[in-house]
Structure 1
Amino acid sequence: MPILGTIIKKLIETKDKVSDFLERDPVEDQNKVLKELLAQAKDTAFGRHYHFDEILESENPAERFAQTVPFFDYNKINDEWWYRLHDGESDVTWPGSPSYFALSSGTTGGTSKRIPITDEMIQSIRRAGIRQVEALANFDLDPEFFEKEIMMLGSSTDLIDKGSHQEGEISGISASNIPFWFRSYYKPGMEISKIDDWDTRVQKIVEQAGDWDIGALSGIPSWMELMLQKVIEYHDLETIHDIWPNLQVYTSGGVAFEPYEKSFNKLLAHPIIVIDTYLASEGFIALQSRKETQSMKLLTNNGLYFEFVPFESQYIQSDGSLVPDAPSIGLSDVEQGKDYVLLLSSVSGLWRYMIGDTIQFTDVDRYEIRITGRTKFFLNVVGSQLSVNKMNDAIRHLEDKYDLKIPEFTVAAVKIDGSYYHHWYLGTDTPEFPVDELTDTLDEYLQSHNKNYGVARSKALHGVRVNLVPKARFYDWSERNKKKGGQVKMEKVMDEEKFQEWEAFCESQ
């Protein structure tokens, strides 16, 4: 009998029930978080500039805050405020100086952003991680599961020492701050996790895989799938369950899991529980708390204040940023089924910060969301208004209709002989499939499921082109851009210049 696992499970179930009983109204939680953030930062340079003391004394701090503080994306807040942190100043947008900077390019090929990570943010991420563990009580797992090890495939924990602070990707920063009591469960362990080169680190994991009893996986789907394939090939296995028979849970994050579901499941002997999380460089935003849905519950009382801008073309500029006068709303006014651009204010000194993701509320009573895409991955050159969510749906339609696995894709609006085309590259292990048939099906599906796309196809959007390439081509592209593993995500939408580089890269392989 798994005595330790039974004890742990009972403790988690009891804690989860107590948490549910004590849980406050999320809207009230958000009002309290905003006031706490403003009070803590009112004496910083940012807080004095935007009169946080007056906002706090106003009748409606949330409304006054939205009227007083403008939207910020990374470039704007870095150019106007965070550059002072890099010059050694303190008390800029948050009291003191950050202990870490999270390096984030978001997608391959971008210049790394440096997001401040304060000690308060580290505590926020830890609390969210504990809440994720507590939520496992809702997934009907056997007591044995709670004695198994967890494989967390992130970026290197060998952070760059800058004297006053350290730098690295958020998954590496988080893993380097794992509580001591959790380290016996954590794999691949601190020594392997410090290896900077992704291929070398994965090779070490592959070689030692047989020494571990993994019950859960955690990481971005594309890189997790690649690692599992290498373990299977190295040990000459049929599925990953041949070496990790007790594997029951996969905690996904960073991108939608659906595009990878078919190819991922081929690596398993039987289905496992997939749990979505939303940990970004800017904070731990949401997590899946129940098995009946793949949606995630916003963490409304954990040092993050959320605002939402309707994701409509008139509010989005060509570079993916917001127009200055775009309307924003708070948690109390969101509508179910509507896409929003997510804004964050946080204990790391982010203020009305656009992280670039779009989300949709799937249950406004539970405040559950799903990530629907990126503002920069919004294909609207000729009015087609294609979000990543709609692109993913179209790809899944192709997979289901033709029994294909297409875990990766990218698309661009390109001009050929004066006319616009949507040019798709689909990553699949069946690159010999008839392209013309796929092209017609893709185009027909998008026209029938997206009114704006249908209108564009009857006017400025002249046609669709499709290329099939091995899915490994996408991973090679990441490696070519020195952005392999960790938090790296492939661009789903490219501009014409980047797309020309991509095409040249594909032709050279």
Structure 2
Amino acid sequence: MKFLSSAISRLARMRLWRIENWSNHPVAAQREVLQHLVTSAQYTEIGKKYSFSKLFTIRDFKKRVPIHEYDDIKPYIQRMMNGEENILWNTPVYWFAKSSGTTSDKSKFIPVSDESLTDNHFQASKDVLSNYYKNFPSSDLLTGKGLVVGGSHQISKVNEDIQYGDLSAILMQNSPFWGQWLRTPELSVALLDEWENKIEKLAQITAEENVTSLAGVPTWTLLLLKRILEIKGKSTIKEVWPNLELYINGGVSFVPYKEQFDKIIGEKINYLEIYNASEGFIAGQEKPDDDGLLLFTEHGIFYEFMPVEEYGKPNPQTMGLDDIVVGKNYALIISNNGGLWRYLIGDTVQFTSINPYKIKVTGRLKHYINAFGEELIVDNSDRAIAIAAEKTGAVINDYTAAPVYFSDKNNGGHEWLIEFDKEPSDKTAFIYELDNALKEINSDYEAKRYKDIALRLPLVHSLPKGTFTEWLRSKGKVGGQHKVPRLSNERIFLEEILAVKNRQ
């Protein structure tokens, strides 16, 4: 084990020269990626439809190929799941990542080709590891086991050769031998379907392992860690896993959870954020505490960035890396080596720097509140919630918010449902701190709050523990990568969650 770990760590360090090359020349790397994608797919159905063989510039590509949302490519994907080949990509696609979004009861299936596994997901994972060793050359990370709190896996009934599941399950199923060797628990447990049973088995097995790294969505990882402490009768995770040194998180902002992790782990460890979506491994922190995630420009994905105000226009404009403005909100559009072409994945990002290019995920294109012109995005609400919690001694498990519309007696506002792990010392003070933080962070919100003319003070409800989990269960979305939508411009989610609370 020690020999294998040291060999892998040496290989990871050897990758650094390549990382330096594409991070120093990102525009050139992106041109090469697009050229390779278009050349590879020129004889596919979509390649023939848009004359890929005649596309020689990025301008031609953007002019010829329209921006796609999921419904636009769903018929193609359905045919691929039925076993047809050369539709969106030039090699057979046997794996499809099932969307974990909570905006719809209907699942989305994202094609995951062998190329996207090898040249994107696994290559990006190795680059994250290489950067980690660059920053911590004496790390013992690979002398122990990595615990991934991932999703479940099911076999598609459409075709014997076609399989689908959560992205994390697909990655575990296809990971190279050394990945299997360094992971805990065994695959049969890691891919269990029933989430409560899975958490219990994960806890029972991994509590006895030498775990040096964790990865997973914060909410479900916390649930597992709390169960492990119960089993072992310990007060901190470091007492169970003294060699734990790294937690890799993604999927939701880590800001509201950091205090809980610090407390439950008991000693300082390193936190790294990654941006690994079903559509591709897009970015990752070069080092802990970096402001922004390094954009992976050589990993089989060509990026475009659409200013959010362009969304919904007949011919929306997109930007390349040359034209990016730091701090501006963009909707992310990708073309990748799994067969997605100018695909609007629904996430919004901001650049924190352009040398090198680093981004942060600010929310979802449709997860925001703008009922009164306040343009509140998830990045704003995450930061404000964290500030209010810190100032009032609260610890938060999760939250969601939606608008309260004007009535005969009241003006508009925002209604918040918050599940506290620890209630604030003064709930009224928490509400004022939340409101003040939002005003400090978002000038549009501040303007609408002026003298309560458009927006009144936030309305905050405390939810019993487990309410969000119960709501997710009612939607068939317990566990894995499934998460609560933080903001919505409509009240559908909020009303459903309130109904769950009232039944308890």
Shorter-chain TM-score bucket reads over 0.9
CA contact (8 A) 1:431 1:469 kept: no
Counterpart residue number, 2:36: 36
- C-alpha separation between the residues in 1 aligned to 2:379 and 2:23? 31
Q: Please give the per-residue CA displacement for 1:198-218, whole angstroms capped at 9, x wherever unaligned.
A: 111111111122331000001
1:421 aligns with 2:418: no
- C-alpha separation between the residues in 2 aligned to 1:8 and 1:96? 29
- Percent of residue pairs bearing the same amino acid type: 30
Structure 2 SS opposite 1:230? helix
Report the Cα offset of residue 304 of structure 1: 0.4
Counterpart residue number, 1:465: 459
Counterpart residue number, 2:435: 443
CA contact (8 A) 1:240 1:267 kept: yes
CA contact (8 A) 2:391 2:433 kept: no
Report the Cα offset of residue 282 of structure 1: 0.5
1:474 aligned residue (441, 444, 468):
468
Structure 2 SS opposite 1:211? coil
TM (normalized to structure 2)?
0.93
1:267 aligns with 2:264: yes
Counterpart residue number, 1:319: none
CA contact (8 A) 1:198 1:485 kept: yes
Per mean C-alpha deviation after superposition, the further-off stretch among 459-468 and 200-209 is: 459-468
Structure 1 counterpart of 2:497, one-letter code: W
Report the Cα offset of residue 454 of structure 1: 2.3
CA contact (8 A) 1:108 1:481 kept: no
Per mean C-alpha deviation after superposition, the further-off stretch among 258-267 and 91-100 is: 91-100
Distance 1:83 1:184, change over 3 A: closer
Structure 2 counterpart of 1:327, one-letter code: Q
Structure 2 SS opposite 1:337? coil
Distance 1:217 1:464, change over 3 A: same
Structure 2 counterpart of 1:367, one-letter code: Y
CA contact (8 A) 2:293 2:358 kept: yes
Report the Cα offset of residue 363 of structure 1: 1.7
TM (normalized to structure 1)?
0.92
Counterpart residue number, 2:399: 409
CA contact (8 A) 1:435 1:467 kept: no
CA contact (8 A) 2:332 2:344 kept: yes
CA contact (8 A) 2:397 2:420 kept: yes
- C-alpha separation between the residues in 1 aligned to 2:149 and 2:52? 40
Q: Please give the per-residue CA displacement for 1:260-314, whole angstroms capped at 9, x wherever unaligned.
A: 1111211112011001111100011112223451521111111100000123xx3
Distance 1:353 1:128, change over 3 A: same
CA contact (8 A) 2:217 2:252 kept: yes
Per mean C-alpha deviation after superposition, the further-off stretch among 154-163 and 280-289 is: 154-163
CA contact (8 A) 2:464 2:501 kept: no
2:295 aligned residue (289, 295, 298):
298
Structure 1 counterpart of 2:152, one-letter code: S
- C-alpha separation between the residues in 2 aligned to 1:503 and 1:121? 40
Q: Please give the per-residue CA displacement for 1:460-482, whole angstroms capped at 9, x wherever unaligned.
A: 33442111124532222222222
Per mean C-alpha deviation after superposition, the further-off stretch among 327-336 and 87-96 is: 87-96
CA contact (8 A) 2:155 2:162 kept: no
1:309 aligns with 2:306: yes
Per mean C-alpha deviation after superposition, the further-off stretch among 120-129 and 417-426 is: 417-426
1:505 aligned residue (494, 497, 500):
500
- C-alpha separation between the residues in 1 aligned to 2:51 and 2:15? 40
Counterpart residue number, 1:13: 13
CA contact (8 A) 2:153 2:164 kept: no
CA contact (8 A) 2:419 2:465 kept: yes
Q: Please give the per-residue CA displacement for 1:108-148, whole angstroms capped at 9, x wherever unaligned.
A: 76321111111111112111122222222123253433211
- C-alpha separation between the residues in 1 aligned to 2:23 and 2:276? 22
- C-alpha separation between the residues in 1 aligned to 2:423 and 2:271? 28
Alignment of 1:308-457 (within 5 A): 308-311=305-308, 314-316=309-311, 322-415=312-405, 417-418=407-408, 419-431=411-423, 433-457=425-449
CA contact (8 A) 1:343 1:354 kept: yes
1:216 aligned residue (213, 217, 235):
213
- How many residue pairs get aligned? The number is 497
- C-alpha separation between the residues in 2 aligned to 1:38 and 1:22? 20
Gaps of 5+ in 1: 317-321
Counterpart residue number, 1:54: 54
Distance 1:423 1:210, change over 3 A: closer
1:280 aligns with 2:277: yes
Distance 1:100 1:452, change over 3 A: same
Q: Please give the per-residue CA displacement for 1:326-348, whole angstroms capped at 9, x wherever unaligned.
A: 22011121122222111110011
Distance 1:78 1:5, change over 3 A: closer
Q: Please give the per-residue CA displacement for 1:162-219, whole angstroms capped at 9, x wherever unaligned.
A: 3131111111000101111222211112121232111111111111223310000011
Alignment of 1:85-104 (within 5 A): 85-104=80-99
Structure 1 counterpart of 2:33, one-letter code: V
- C-alpha separation between the residues in 2 aligned to 1:157 and 1:142? 36
CA contact (8 A) 2:246 2:269 kept: yes
CA contact (8 A) 2:15 2:127 kept: no
Distance 1:17 1:48, change over 3 A: closer
CA contact (8 A) 1:108 1:483 kept: no
- C-alpha separation between the residues in 2 aligned to 1:296 and 1:22? 15
CA contact (8 A) 1:423 1:466 kept: yes
- C-alpha separation between the residues in 1 aligned to 2:164 and 2:397? 31
1:121 aligns with 2:116: yes
Per mean C-alpha deviation after superposition, the further-off stretch among 472-481 and 273-282 is: 472-481
Aligned-residue Cα RMSD (Å) equals: 2.3
- C-alpha separation between the residues in 2 aligned to 1:8 and 1:128? 15
- C-alpha separation between the residues in 2 aligned to 1:338 and 1:8? 39
Report the Cα offset of residue 425 of structure 1: 1.0
Report the Cα offset of residue 23 of structure 1: 6.3
Structure 2 SS opposite 1:42? coil
Distance 1:202 1:452, change over 3 A: same
Report the Cα offset of residue 9 of structure 1: 4.0
Report the Cα offset of residue 62 of structure 1: 1.0
CA contact (8 A) 1:138 1:291 kept: no
Gaps of 5+ in 2: none
Distance 1:424 1:344, change over 3 A: same
- C-alpha separation between the residues in 2 aligned to 1:352 and 1:309? 11
CA contact (8 A) 1:103 1:112 kept: yes
1:235 aligns with 2:232: yes
